[in-house]
Amino acid sequence: MNRFAKAIVALAPLGLLAACGESVDPLKVGSKDFIESEVVGYMLADLAEDAGIPVERRIPYGDSAEAFEAIKEGRIDLYLDYNGTGLAYTGQTPSQDGDASLAKVRELYGPLGLNWLDRLGFANDYAIVMRPEAADAQGIGTISDLSRIQGLTLAVDTTFAERPLDGLGPMARRYALDLGDPLAYDVAEGGKDKIMEALLDGRAQAAELYTTDAEIDAYGLKVLKDDLKFFPVYEGAPVVRQDALARFPNLSAAIGRLAGKLSTGEMRRLNAAVTLGGQSAETVALAFLTDKGLLKAPGEGAAGGAPGETVPMALETDDSLSGPAGRAVRAARTAFKDAQLRLDRTPDPLEAVRDGKARLGVTSADDFFTARDGKPAPRGGVEAVGVVGYKLVHLIAEKDGPRGLEGIKRLGVGEAGSSSDRTARLLLAGLGLDGTVEVVPQAQDLAGRAEALAKGDIDALLVMAPQGESDVAGIMGNGRRLLGVEAWTQSPAALRFSFLRPARLAPQTYPGMGDAVDTLSSQMVLIGPVSREGEIGERGPQTTGTKPAQVLPDETITGLREAFGRMELVDPALPQAAMLTTKLHEEATSLVSSPWASLANLFVIVMMVFLFYLLIAEPRVRLQRDVIRGERT
């Protein structure tokens, strides 16, 4: 073999390795930085992987602009986008014709080396929404109707406030809206929750959402008709680099299996499973593909790994995931990012956490106590790790029913042991009415309890819920009234039961509600097992054999509090995790509460005085004596 042939033989393996390295360059699947895009991104990645394509997940990648630049430059190969958004990127006027929009973006994106594949079946259009009771009271059904409101306040995301073609300003001009200052929030920093809070507490009269947002169904919001057809269509479709299609010839067919499989309602449900249900986007995506038969079930060679640790989280039966409880679930999902949350509904979350049936839970301040001899007795066994929100006492009566607490003989509440049941007993005990008013627990849902009120089976109904709760709004009307509890602040109960604090329901919070109503509030908190020994609390025969509660590490509590994004402190009447107290408080407590520490401090002070005398005072006395003696001699 000559020298040239030997060189070819020697270099052949290197060429083969180079070819192999090029062939296994993975498909880089990305997404924008919101839940819907992440869910679909995981679906696309799973389908590609199921077809034998090596995948690198870059989910989420960034906002719309960052993702668009990334796919143009090859930092990602595939992601979900919307035909209306694609037109806006290229300076075109978005359209309400979905077919024409798709054809146009395919034409415009081709020279960029990008392909738009078939649409997935759902449209994520802009939606202007209102609380249904507010819209009905003002006769508002279209966006045009909003022009009747002077100084209209809209809660929107910051991107919508800035968009020059289909954003807040152009919409206001098209519909001749008299806008006040908008309330704009960054969706990437919890803005969706803030938008909903502003709408529900009345600071905003309407809000901007998307048609696939889970909050629409969760809150029962009214979507106003876009009667002038201002908003373009935003239909979801995969965008992929042409060189990726060339690199993986089976890619188009693999992800094409998802085309037409996702309706707008289905996408809303999947979003809700993440934003309100505590599941991860990856888990929701895999479950959908499995349910639709697009992938084999886990354990049968499907894409994706086995789920990690399961973290049980206890929620009260009546708590809506569209309110504070939902925020707590999302915070927990963030803190336990490598685990799967399992939401367990129970009338008494405190008991579930204390007995080790749940790792953490959401409850309210009233759940920490029980009424005993007219006084609150702590239950123990759990501690607060962060503030979630507030529940308010809603005391509801028919229009011809009692005018106050003194006229109630039978008070309906939720399940035995629930927040409404416990609060009712604490309230009556504090006012000395526990011997005259019968508390009637009812296992049915709120609508069923309202029916019992209508039939006269109970005289009034006590509901614990955040202000503006849609379920409460649903049973108001027909002359029903909210009763005040002004007597509370005029009695010693306000001091003994300090965790039930005076509050006020704002006017027009519910249908037919004219004036403000004085009531009580109870702080909602995320709870974990108590971290201090000896604080167990009440136990019963049903707790025998339960596993010991697993204390939350300090780093997990820190992660939960960061995820809340709330600065409010835990009510001082409640037990809370030791790491939440400040060092100053801990030092002050240790000095006052420990007699040994006090003795030690006293000893140190005495020794310092004694040393001062030996080193300074006593030599000076000697010197003075010597001087006096010298003068005398």
pLDDT in tens, 490-546: 888 888 898 999 999 888 888 778 889 999 999 999 999 887 544 444 433 333 334
pLDDT tens digits along 445-498: 898 999 999 999 999 999 999 888 878 888 887 789 999 998 898 888 888 898
Residues 395 and 452 in one domain: yes
3-state secondary structure of 397: strand
pLDDT at site 16: 40
The domain boundary, picked from 307, 341, 359, lies at: 307
Q: What is the full DSSP assignment across 548-596? A: PP-PPPHHHHHHHHHHHT--PPPPTTS-B-GGGS-HHHHHHHHHHH-HH
User: CA-CA distance, 550 to 106, in Å (whole number)?
Assistant: 55
Nearest to 342 by CA among 279, 270, 269, 385: 279
The pLDDT-based confidence of 553 (bands split at 50, 70, 90) is: confident
Q: Could you tell me if 218 and 83 are in contact, meaning their C-beta atoms sit under 8 angstroms apart?
A: no
- Mean pLDDT, all residues of the chain: 82
Residue 7 resides in a domain? no
Residues 530 and 611 in one domain: no
Residue type, 586: E
pLDDT at site 606: 66
pLDDT at site 168: 92
pLDDT at site 300: 46
Residues 192 and 247 in one domain: no
Res. 15: pLDDT tops 70:
no
Domain span at residue 187?
A: 126-223
Residues β-bridged to residue 222 = 130
Most confident of 268-282, 411-425, 494-508: 411-425
> What percent of the chain shows pLDDT beyond 70?
81
pLDDT at site 535: 45
Residues 277 and 347 in one domain: no
Q: What is the mean pLDDT of residues 19-47?
A: 83
Residues 430 and 488 in one domain: yes
Q: HSE of 279 in the Cβ direction (CA atoms, 13 Å)? A: 19
Q: At 364, which CATH number? A: 3.40.190.10
User: CA-CA distance, 30 to 197, in Å (whole number)?
Assistant: 31
Residues 471 and 532 in one domain: yes
- Of 312-316, 366-370, 478-482, which range is least confident? 478-482
- Of 122-126, 416-420, 442-446, 544-548, which range is least confident? 544-548
Res. 121: pLDDT tops 70:
yes
pLDDT at site 532: 55
pLDDT at site 633: 44
Res. 52: pLDDT tops 80:
yes
Residue 434 resides in a domain? yes
Domain count, the chain: 4
User: CA-CA distance, 580 to 563, in Å (whole number)?
Assistant: 15
Residue 14 resides in a domain? no
Burial of 34 (0-12, 13-18, 19+ CB in 10 A): buried
Per-residue CA distances from 35 to 57, 187, 235 (Å): 15, 11, 16
The domain boundary, picked from 275, 290, 307, lies at: 307
Nearest to 113 by CA among 273, 263, 255, 244: 244
The pLDDT-based confidence of 551 (bands split at 50, 70, 90) is: confident
> What percent of the chain shows pLDDT beyond 90?
42
Residues 91 and 143 in one domain: no
Provide the H-helix boundaries in 293-380.
324-335, 349-354
User: CA-CA distance, 566 to 387, in Å (whole number)?
Assistant: 7
Report the DSSP pairing between strands 55-62 and 27-32: parallel
Q: What is the mean pLDDT of residues 578-586?
A: 54
pLDDT tens digits along 147-189: 999 999 999 998 889 877 778 999 999 999 999 999 998 876 7
Residues 610 and 625 in one domain: yes
- Of 83-87, 199-203, 274-278, which range is least confident? 274-278
Res. 405: pLDDT tops 90:
no
The domain boundary, picked from 560, 577, 594, lies at: 577
Nearest to 445 by CA among 313, 268, 316: 316
Res. 557: pLDDT tops 90:
no
Q: What is the full DSSP assignment across 424-480? A: HHHHHHHHT-TTTSEEEE--S-HHHHHHHHHHTSSSEEEEEE-TT-HHHHHH--TT-
